[in-house]
Structure 1
Amino acid sequence: MTTPTITPTLLRDLSDAEFLARYDTDPFTASVLSNRLRAAAQHVATGLLHRAFSPIIALAMDYVCAIIGPPEQNYRMVAATNGLTVFLGTLQDGVRAAVEEFGVDRLAPGDLLICNDPSRVGNHANDVCFIRPVFHSGRVVSFMVLRAHVIDIGGITPGGFDTNKRNIYETGLLIGPRLLFHAEEPVRETFTLIFDNSRFGEIQLPDYKTIHSCCRFGESLIVESIDRYGLDAYLGTLEYLCDTTAERMRLAIASLPDGDYEGKASIDADAEDADEEYLVRVKVVKRGDRIEADFSGSSRQARTAINAGALDAKTAVGVGLKVLLDPLGHFTSGSFRNIDIVIPPGTIASALPPDGAIFFYWEVANTVMTALIDALRDALGERAIGGDCGSNNVHNAFGVTADGTPWAASAVAGAETGPVGADRHADGEGHVCPYLINIISPATEGIEAQFPVMVMRKEYAADTSGTGLHRGGAAIMKDILWTGPARHQVAPFRFRKPSGIGVHGGEDGVQGGVWIFGQDGADLGFVPDSDDAYRDATPVAGVMDPETNRLDPAGIYAYYASERTWATKPGATFRYLTNGGGGWGDPLVRDPEAVKTDVRDGYVSIEAAAERYGVVIVGDPDRDPESLHVDIEKTTTLRLRNADEE
């Protein structure tokens, strides 16, 4: 006898009586409270952005604000801001771990609990989790949480962005759950512990105070909502928020054909040597309305700090599937309800202490996203999306000014942003960020005002997009000139293979690279994009012709850690060229007028228009771009010939 399939009742089909019985409130009140909570989280995040001193918070928005449910609801994350997505999957588990270890019964009104240990709360040591219990009628009813990157947490390198770290003792100060504020008063011994072990305390101290006040403000907004609508309605709404996102993801998963789908992606190397490439393998098993993501077969944990923890892999799967299957709507702990994750301990995505040093965890998350795109591109069909630039290419530089003042520029002077892939609706955007770490590109004026740099170039590079009916986003070429002596740690991890994979007949985006021009000092000025300039450059990362130092897929891999620390003298320029985004669909059916526009705008050269799209463009895009036109007859002939050759 076959067991009948039971289809859950959709939330919108519940009667008012059924809704009240489930959530202790009515649908209208639940919707109002849901929006109030999301607005409260965003209000808190805006307050931090406008008052932060640290550049990585104020310029790059490296933080997220979230509202977490009470212990009896298993600390579910119910609302989060549009901050860093790689924080989202760690919040429920991380807050639960920190609070349970500290003891929920020990918390009091006005407390601010902190923890930054990756093994407890995920992410890396600089991403400190600030947790404020929200009390109402003498009980904890929620937690207001800010997760923010602090500019320095100790360790062997100012700022921390160093691929060479080999164990947890080198990554920085690890703080188990302890109070930073108690009953609104600073806990002096915690502040002493932090500032005795980290640099740039004059920047961090006001940021910690700001975070405390922001969390206190967030608590007031939650309490105000409870006082207005009642505690039962509030707690019911927390359940409703997770149920709505769980339902969306369940329906999205159900729309995918049943099957076993395998994908992989790689990180070029760790900082030990260039010989070992690290693979992330994921097998997606889909049955009915459930998905299992199995990481068995992924590479061992790296020997240096390019690892991620299991909570980071969880985030990558949850957010990655959200991007692929249900890009609209909100993200909560409920988004994981129909997802199972299998991950052996001790892999590149589930590193264990003490030797599995975790720092560049987001790069593993980006790699998981590429593996998911690879695994599901055929199953999704026309719903597939092209791969992105793959890496944030974070650049860490530090030094001492002429007057002896130390400085560190972290994650603001590399190629932290870049293109994404195309989809069935449109071309890929060029200057955004990888799908899984939506950091923003810092303002040029902001970084030039704070550090010895000049941003000389930030532009799209021609002929780097993956071709298709819709093309991928174009790669970004970015030149940063250092006006003073500096030392640099770089993290370009995805240049051995294309990350911008093409889908649904589209082609891969071009692989990028990193170079230093004038490493031993140079006259201040622009570096041309010419053969002579590259011939004299120092290759840092990418697959290049060893004679010309130009990118060449048949060339030799330039190893980013061949110098533990790259030293430069005044006038040296770092050039980053990101990977291009993947294309979607057959490039031979792209609208010729769209190709002409791409030529006019500098995304595609006239030669590539003919070679890759079969479109013959006539005119001079540099001297008279508005006179460009399509030769219809030659285009038709060329496309027919190209179609026959395929």
Structure 2
Amino acid sequence: TPGMLTAARRRLVHLQPLRDEAAIMLRQVSGSQIAVEANDLNTAITTADGTVVACGDYVLCQVASLDLVTSDIIRNYATDPGIRPGDQFMTNDPYVGTLHQPDVVVVAPVFHEGTLVAWCGSTVHQPDVGGPATGGLALDAGSIFDEPLPVPPVRIVEHDRIRRDIERGYLIRSRTPRLNALDLAGQIAANRAAVAAIQQLCRRYGTETVIAAMDHLVDVAERQLRARLRELPDGRWRHVSYLEHGAPAPDNSDVYAVRLAATKRGDELVLDFSGSSPQAPGAINAAYPALVNFAVASVLVYLCADLLWVPGAVARVVKIISREGTVVHAAWPAGVAMSTATSCQAIRVSVNACLSRMLEGSAELARLAMASCQSSGAGGGVLSGVSRSGEPFGSMTLDELTGGGGATLLLDGVDSSGSTTSPGASCANVEVNESYLPVLYLRRAELADSAGPGRQRGGVGCVIALRPHGTDEPIRVVSFAQGLQHPAAVGLDGGDPGRQSMFYAGGVEVVDDLLAGGRGEPALPLPDAAARLTGDAVHLAVTQGGGGYGDPLERDPAAVLSDVEDGLVSVAGADRDYGVVLVRAGATSWTVDREATTARRRLVRSDRIGGREPAAPVAHRPGRRLTNALDLVDGPGGRHIACARCAAPLSPVDGNPYLAMAVVEGPVHEVAPLPARYPGSERFVIRRLHCPSCASRIEVQVSLRSDPVVQTVAPIA
């Protein structure tokens, strides 16, 4: 009846209890700290054709493309071996639909009275899925044959019973078979719980009603997203993110660019990644499903923050364009196991930057724009070896999820908050990691000056130090190895990027010197496959901070002083990054020197434009909002782009206003939170772009020194 359909729709709009119950079931059965402590997992529900209707808030980017897995099964297995009640299928094939090989997906069809109603799915990052390197990640992989060989979808459960032959064949690949078996059992149990819950809905409301209600939910979410896009001005936004892989090369051939051009017309959005670099020889590439996962998850987080999160609706509205054979859409048999910490993070940052600049075009929706969070792979890695008892061990610590969140128009970023596309994930407890791994933590603490400065600053990242404990054998340390040569977490509206990460495995003297402030920027080696911890050696990692929002010179000096008192900004950083001069107020306290701060900020603004006196701001914005800092203005000479603060014209509407801006360029090492450099970092620069008239900060770009300034915003007719 109509009343029953309305009730079912209302119930299905709130599928969170169902998906969360499945996730709780998974965590209760699993014994891995990756699942139990860090929540590196997710669950989802799809329609019968695989359209993702609901997904958990854990690692959002693990399930946004679950439709690719289910559609592969429907396409290939409908008649042989068939799809029946009580079946479940497992895969870790990144060329089919998972992020990378360690992320194992298990899906189950939901039948009621002979009708395929839906699918349920669960994903867990399992500790080790085989391959030459423990944890499945290999810096020196030349192709997927140097990584864990993926398992295409295979029926792991038949007639509601685990197929022991398939399970045995899967587990024998792993160095951690007991943990993997528990994860697999948890995923199967989670799917069973979800199947039973949906069947209960069918018994209560009828199968046709439940199917119609799920379709309705996707329709509603699609309408919401299209309405959101219609509220925003049409335009084109660009961003470039950089990755490094291999030893620095004179021709920069070790640097790979993820290039995104996002175009919005009416209620449609196109994300075009086809300009990205050709694929790398090794592990940093993303297969197409990973591109879809991170792009869709980023749209949900950065554009649909206050809307329904229905991945299947995004797929109807957003067109993703890519080119096979690139670093974001690799062709078989490219290595892709490290994609989640490398190319996928660059995909997220690029979508984040473009969508946030799009939101800035609306006075009402600009409040939703958010600078980039940390790059979740930065500072992280896999530790492996043999314990004193002779047992092999190998796992991520998940310490890299202590990076900072991005700032918004009104709020500072959240300190040590992790990745936005993994909203429910968290770093594992120190004591838990020490129980799984033969290590002793020396430090895990928030790190001053790691956040991107801005009117609203980004969230700070963390510093982590640990050493071997309880083993006489070397501990292998495989780094995720991105964000070391340059910052990666972009700022917005003139805010600086979050500061770069750090990775070191070696002598305690170097570590102590770095943590004490250093005696002169030591050159640290780039991570490689041979990195080991032995004896008293220490593993040091720094996670990135979040990007800042707005001109740092506009930050309230009282807020800067508060950050200094909380240990989030140093006294030197207050002066360097914010132009705030602090003086002693006591043995352990500081106060703002208001007069010196005013003079310091006036000098910095003048230096931005070659020593000239900055123009005064106008009382009202001169035209239609393009971004927070730029307006479209109709004048006697035609429409042009102008500074929103002082009304100075910068270019014709079809020109490039960034070419007229005053650029202050500096090396990236000047913003590193600890005094160290890596080979290759000298190739990257931070470009701070200012209005040539009033000296207001308009944008900050991280770039190869040889690359041009990017025109990040362009109106279209």
TM range (shorter): 0.7 to 0.9
Paired residue for 2:330?
Answer: 351
Paired residue for 1:549?
Answer: 522
What's the offset of the Cα at 1:49?
A: 1.4
What's the offset of the Cα at 1:79?
A: 0.9
Paired residue for 2:408?
Answer: 423
1:111 aligned residue (87, 93, 99): 87
1:630 aligned residue (577, 589, 592): 592
Paired residue for 2:480?
Answer: 491
Mean CA deviation greater in 105-114 or 235-244 = 105-114
Distance 1:357 1:376 in 2: 26
Distance 2:304 2:182 in 1: 39
Mean CA deviation greater in 114-123 or 597-606 = 114-123
Give the letter aligned to residue 320 of structure 1.
S
Give the letter aligned to residue 76 of structure 1.
T
**Residue 168 in structure 1 maps to residue 144 in structure 2:** yes
CA contact (8 A) 1:86 1:436 kept: yes
Mean CA deviation greater in 636-645 or 242-251 = 636-645
What's the offset of the Cα at 1:527?
A: 5.1
Mean CA deviation greater in 186-195 or 267-276 = 267-276
**Residue 42 in structure 1 maps to residue 7 in structure 2:** no
What's the offset of the Cα at 1:195?
A: 2.6
Relative distance call for 1:356 and 1:490 in structure 2 (3 A) is closer
State the Cα deviation string for residues 386-418 of structure 1 (Å, max 9, x = none).
Answer: 222224233111111122111112x21652430
- Where 1:206 maps in the other structure, the secondary structure is helix
2:313 aligned residue (301, 325, 334): 334
Distance 1:415 1:359 in 2: 14
Give the letter aligned to residue 326 of structure 1.
C
Paired residue for 2:433?
Answer: 447
What's the offset of the Cα at 1:75?
A: 1.4
Paired residue for 1:363?
Answer: 342
1:559 aligned residue (526, 542, 547): 526
Paired residue for 1:8?
Answer: none
Give the letter aligned to residue 85 of structure 1.
L
State the Cα deviation string for residues 200-241 of structure 1 (Å, max 9, x = none).
Answer: 222222332232222112211111122122222211111122
Q: Which runs of 5+ in 2 are unaligned?
A: 361-365, 609-717
Distance 1:428 1:565 in 2: 36
Distance 2:11 2:571 in 1: 54
Paired residue for 1:10?
Answer: none
Relative distance call for 1:142 and 1:605 in structure 2 (3 A) is same
1:251 aligned residue (219, 223, 227): 227
What's the offset of the Cα at 1:40?
A: 0.8
Mean CA deviation greater in 179-188 or 383-392 = 383-392
Mean CA deviation greater in 183-192 or 349-358 = 349-358
Paired residue for 2:371?
Answer: 386
What's the offset of the Cα at 1:593?
A: 1.6
Relative distance call for 1:529 and 1:442 in structure 2 (3 A) is farther
CA contact (8 A) 1:431 1:476 kept: yes
What's the offset of the Cα at 1:425?
A: 2.1
Paired residue for 1:151?
Answer: 127
Paired residue for 2:41?
Answer: 63
Distance 1:497 1:254 in 2: 36
State the Cα deviation string for residues 131-157 of structure 1 (Å, max 9, x = none).
Answer: 111111122211111112222221111
Distance 2:352 2:125 in 1: 28
- Where 2:373 maps in the other structure, the secondary structure is coil
Give the letter aligned to residue 475 of structure 2.
A
State the Cα deviation string for residues 5-58 of structure 1 (Å, max 9, x = none).
Answer: xxxxxxxxxxxx9xx5xxx954444112321x3211110101111221122212
Paired residue for 2:669?
Answer: none
State the Cα deviation string for residues 418-462 of structure 1 (Å, max 9, x = none).
Answer: 012211120011212233344311111110111111222122222
Report the aligned-residue RMSD: 2.6
**Residue 507 in structure 1 maps to residue 472 in structure 2:** no
Distance 1:377 1:150 in 2: 33
1:92 aligned residue (49, 52, 67): 67
CA contact (8 A) 2:247 2:254 kept: no
Distance 1:161 1:534 in 2: 32
- Where 1:109 maps in the other structure, the secondary structure is coil
Paired residue for 1:319?
Answer: 297
- Where 1:191 maps in the other structure, the secondary structure is helix
Paired residue for 1:588?
Answer: 553
**Residue 289 in structure 1 maps to residue 253 in structure 2:** no
Paired residue for 2:702?
Answer: none
Give the letter aligned to residue 588 of structure 2.
D
Relative distance call for 1:362 and 1:237 in structure 2 (3 A) is farther
State the Cα deviation string for residues 370-396 of structure 1 (Å, max 9, x = none).
Answer: 223444554433454222222423311
Paired residue for 2:104?
Answer: 128
Q: TM-score, normalised by structure 2?
A: 0.78
Paired residue for 2:11?
Answer: 32
CA contact (8 A) 1:25 1:232 kept: no
**Equivalent runs, 1:518-529 vs 2, <5 Å:** 518=507, 528=512
What's the offset of the Cα at 1:350?
A: 0.7
Give the letter aligned to residue 347 of structure 2.
V
CA contact (8 A) 2:121 2:191 kept: yes
Relative distance call for 1:141 and 1:475 in structure 2 (3 A) is same
Relative distance call for 1:559 and 1:82 in structure 2 (3 A) is same
Instruction: Give identity over the alignment, percent.
Output: 26
Distance 2:142 2:120 in 1: 34
Give the letter aligned to residue 631 of structure 1.
D
- Where 1:89 maps in the other structure, the secondary structure is coil
Relative distance call for 1:531 and 1:96 in structure 2 (3 A) is closer
CA contact (8 A) 1:263 1:373 kept: no
CA contact (8 A) 1:76 1:92 kept: yes
Q: Which runs of 5+ in 1 are unaligned?
A: 1-16, 536-546, 551-556
2:279 aligned residue (301, 310, 317): 301
State the Cα deviation string for residues 280-325 of structure 1 (Å, max 9, x = none).
Answer: 0111121111111111221111111111111211222222223322
- Where 1:433 maps in the other structure, the secondary structure is coil
Paired residue for 2:54?
Answer: 79
CA contact (8 A) 1:86 1:365 kept: no
Distance 2:526 2:169 in 1: 37
Distance 1:413 1:217 in 2: 28
Give the letter aligned to residue 436 of structure 1.
T
Paired residue for 1:4?
Answer: none
Paired residue for 2:633?
Answer: none
CA contact (8 A) 2:342 2:480 kept: no
- Where 2:96 maps in the other structure, the secondary structure is helix
CA contact (8 A) 1:60 1:412 kept: no
CA contact (8 A) 1:272 1:303 kept: no
Give the letter aligned to residue 421 of structure 1.
G
Paired residue for 1:398?
Answer: 384
CA contact (8 A) 1:261 1:283 kept: yes
Give the letter aligned to residue 430 of structure 1.
D
Distance 1:532 1:634 in 2: 28
CA contact (8 A) 1:588 1:639 kept: yes
How many residues are aligned here? Answer: 593
Relative distance call for 1:578 and 1:636 in structure 2 (3 A) is same
CA contact (8 A) 1:173 1:197 kept: no
Paired residue for 2:205?
Answer: 229
- Where 2:573 maps in the other structure, the secondary structure is helix
Give the letter aligned to residue 493 of structure 2.
H
Give the letter aligned to residue 491 of structure 1.
F
- Where 1:303 maps in the other structure, the secondary structure is coil
What's the offset of the Cα at 1:356?
A: 4.3
Distance 1:362 1:104 in 2: 38
2:194 aligned residue (208, 212, 218): 218
Q: TM-score, normalised by structure 1?
A: 0.86
